[in-house]
């Protein structure tokens, strides 16, 4: 018999990959208790994420973890599509030391296990309980919470369950959520090496090498880490391509084994899939459990980190009585379309590689890769100003901003509106010159996204900022 009111934690996170641990960490930092379980006792060792965008660097800075990650990070100086001879077709190169609009390098490269170690240490320090070596095998929801059964027969009960259990998510299957195929299925060999010989000339930028003989990605990782990704031909098998001799042959144009030490290799099928819904009752999908995309834009994990950041403040607001349970609907309403756009964007990059391999420069007319990077839409943003739905830029002059919560930023424009959930912040007119003028204020969400740029803050706040309540309604 379940005691409906006894909880082991407010939030149970299934999966301690980067998304699950970030979700648990941000929930705890926002005042909830969290237990995160993983069936594995080890961090996933094979080559996976290598690049992180600026928005997520800024998120980790707010979470107090960016400094601990710094030893694992290096700026990525740019990315380009090149032809079979390595001639530039399209892309960009950044001067050393370039920072983006948020004050961080526009992209950094890293080693995923290194980042995950820093993340787990930070989460544990913040009060997340990590339970490793525990597989969730069943879940049951009722009006008050979720009870998960672990493979040793014990149960864990929480108000909410975040399923961050990866592409083959057990929880997703248990709650019956289907994946919607976005039409991409390719098999690639991924290789991580250490550069041993400085005389070897390798690309300075991340390169998508559109060689009709073999489409290849080359990425300069941090320090001496170098990544290659090779698309398999239809007649090649996983076993053949993973043979040391086959890998040596693929790397031969770049360097010998004495110059490039093979550290790790894996074969992956790159898919493009999005869950039909990101929520069933008290269960929320996040990360690869909710969306999978080919890695060409370096956005798989980054997209999952956005899930974690949004979900954590929504869950905290509802649990702590700052918002009505209806706010939970915003998670699927915002994250599913946005993730779908990211998936399609990544697929487009793969199609562009193929098109350049077949048609050279002419492929640029196909429109692949021309799509703007998606912004958030949905019930928690008010369209209008072009920066709405994107992350708040770093102020141009030193400015104190709240670390969390909703805030309304104005210069000498509209008078701040008294609202107990919204902090009013007066800034120097030079702080956000592209956004604020004498007639507009800017409403910023707890995840530092611009929710509105408005001449009428009272109306925008009434429309966007969740209403407080003391009771959660029945959700299941």
List residues binding ligand FAD (CB under 6 A): 14-20, 37-40, 44, 47-51, 135-136, 164-166, 170, 190, 268, 287-288, 295, 298-302, 304
Work out how close the CB of 408 gets to ligand FAD at its nearest, in angstroms, rounded to a whole number: 32
Token readout for 140 is 């049951």
Work out how close the CB of 2 gets to ligand FAD at its nearest, in angstroms, rounded to a whole number: 20
- CB half-sphere exposure, 399, CA atoms < 13 A: 19
Comparing CB distances to ligand FAD, the nearer of 166 and 457 is 166
Q: Show the CA angle centred on residue 327, arms to residues 322 and 332, nearest 5°.
A: 145
Assign 3-class secondary structure to 14-61.
Answer: ECCCHHHHHHHHHHHHCCCCEEEEECCCCCCCCCCCCEEEHHHHHHHH
How far is CA 98 from each of CA 77, 128, 223, 280, 345, rounded to the nearest angstrom?
A: 8, 35, 18, 43, 24
Alpha helices in 161-299 (DSSP H): 170-174, 238-242, 244-251
Comparing CB distances to ligand FAD, the nearer of 373 and 415 is 373
Comparing CB distances to ligand FAD, the nearer of 148 and 435 is 148
Work out how close the CB of 172 gets to ligand FAD at its nearest, in angstroms, rounded to a whole number: 10
Work out how close the CB of 422 gets to ligand FAD at its nearest, in angstroms, rounded to a whole number: 32
CA 310 to chain centre: 11
Assess contact for 433 and 460: CB atoms under 8 A.
Answer: no
Work out how close the CB of 343 gets to ligand FAD at its nearest, in angstroms, rounded to a whole number: 11
Comparing CB distances to ligand FAD, the nearer of 148 and 431 is 148
Comparing CB distances to ligand FAD, the nearer of 170 and 454 is 170
Comparing CB distances to ligand FAD, the nearer of 105 and 298 is 298
Work out how close the CB of 298 gets to ligand FAD at its nearest, in angstroms, rounded to a whole number: 3
Alpha helices in 103-164 (DSSP H): 112-126
Work out how close the CB of 205 gets to ligand FAD at its nearest, in angstroms, rounded to a whole number: 14
Work out how close the CB of 30 gets to ligand FAD at its nearest, in angstroms, rounded to a whole number: 19
Exposed (0-12), middle (13-18) or buried (19+): which is 366, by Cβ within 10 Å? middle
Work out how close the CB of 174 gets to ligand FAD at its nearest, in angstroms, rounded to a whole number: 9
Q: Residue 463: which of 448, 445, 447, 476 has the closest Cα?
A: 445
User: What gap in Å lies between CA 357 and CA 213, rounded to an integer?
Assistant: 9
Residue with tokens 């999908």: 285
Work out how close the CB of 9 gets to ligand FAD at its nearest, in angstroms, rounded to a whole number: 15
Comparing CB distances to ligand FAD, the nearer of 159 and 231 is 231
Assess contact for 39 and 134: CB atoms under 8 A.
Answer: yes
Beta strands in 305-385 (DSSP E): none
DSSP string across 54-108:
HHHHHHHHHTT-HHHHGGG-EE--EEEEE-TT--EEEEEE--TT---TTSS-SEE
Comparing CB distances to ligand FAD, the nearer of 298 and 466 is 298
Comparing CB distances to ligand FAD, the nearer of 85 and 152 is 152
Comparing CB distances to ligand FAD, the nearer of 18 and 413 is 18
User: What gap in Å lies between CA 163 and CA 74, rounded to an integer?
Assistant: 30
Which value, in Å, is the radius of gyration of the alpha carbons in the chain? 23
Comparing CB distances to ligand FAD, the nearer of 35 and 451 is 35
Work out how close the CB of 36 gets to ligand FAD at its nearest, in angstroms, rounded to a whole number: 9
């Amino acid at each position: 018999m379940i005691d409906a009111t006894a909880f082991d934690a407010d939030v149970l996170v299934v999966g301690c990959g980067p998304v699950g641990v970030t979700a648990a960490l941000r929930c705890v930092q926002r005042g909830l208790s969290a237990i995160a379980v993983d069936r594995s006792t080890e961090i996933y060792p094979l080559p996976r994420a290598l690049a992180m965008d600026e928005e997520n660097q800024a998120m980790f800075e707010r979470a107090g973890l960016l400094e601990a990650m710094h030893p694992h990070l290096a700026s990525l100086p740019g990315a380009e599509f090149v032809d079979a001879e390595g001639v530039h077709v399209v892309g960009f190169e950044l001067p050393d030391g370039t920072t983006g609009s948020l004050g961080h390098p526009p992209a950094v490269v890293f080693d995923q296990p290194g980042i995950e170690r820093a993340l787990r240490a930070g989460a544990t320090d913040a009060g997340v309980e990590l339970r490793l070596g525990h597989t969730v095998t069943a879940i049951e929801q009722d009006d008050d919470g979720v009870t998960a059964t672990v493979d040793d027969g014990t149960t864990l009960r929480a108000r909410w369950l975040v399923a961050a259990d990866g592409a083959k998510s057990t929880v997703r299957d248990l709650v019956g959520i289907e994946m919607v195929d976005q039409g991409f299925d390719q098999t690639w060999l991924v290789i991580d090496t250490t550069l041993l010989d400085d005389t070897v000339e390798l690309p300075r930028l991340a390169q998508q090498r559109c060689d009709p003989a073999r489409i290849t990605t080359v990425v300069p990782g941090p320090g001496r880490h170098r990544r290659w990704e090779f698309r398999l031909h239809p007649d090649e098998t996983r076993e053949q391509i993973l043979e040391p001799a086959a890998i040596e042959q693929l790397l031969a144009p770049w360097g010998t084994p004495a110059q490039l030490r093979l550290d790790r290799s894996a074969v992956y099928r790159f898919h493009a899939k999005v869950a039909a819904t990101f929520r069933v009752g008290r269960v929320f999908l996040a990360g690869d459990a909710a969306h999978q995309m080919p890695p060409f834009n370096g956005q798989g994990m980054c997209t999952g980190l956005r899930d974690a950041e949004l979900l954590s403040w929504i869950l905290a607001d509802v649990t702590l009585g700052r918002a009505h349970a209806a706010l939970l609907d915003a998670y699927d309403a915002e994250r599913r379309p946005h993730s779908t756009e990211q998936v399609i964007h990544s697929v487009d990059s793969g199609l562009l590689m193929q098109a350049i391999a077949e048609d050279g420069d002419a492929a640029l007319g196909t429109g692949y890769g021309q799509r703007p990077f998606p912004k958030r839409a949905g019930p928690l943003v008010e369209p209008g100003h072009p920066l709405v739905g994107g992350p708040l830029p770093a102020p141009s002059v030193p400015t104190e901003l709240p670390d969390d919560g909703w805030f309304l930023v104005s210069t000498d424009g509209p008078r701040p509106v008294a609202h107990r959930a919204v902090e009013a912040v007066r800034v120097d007119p030079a702080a956000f010159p592209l956004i604020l003028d004498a007639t507009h204020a800017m409403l910023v969400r707890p995840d530092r996204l611009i929710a509105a740029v408005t001449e009428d803050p009272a109306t925008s706040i009434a429309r966007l900022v969740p209403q407080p309540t003391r009771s959660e309604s029945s959700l299941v």
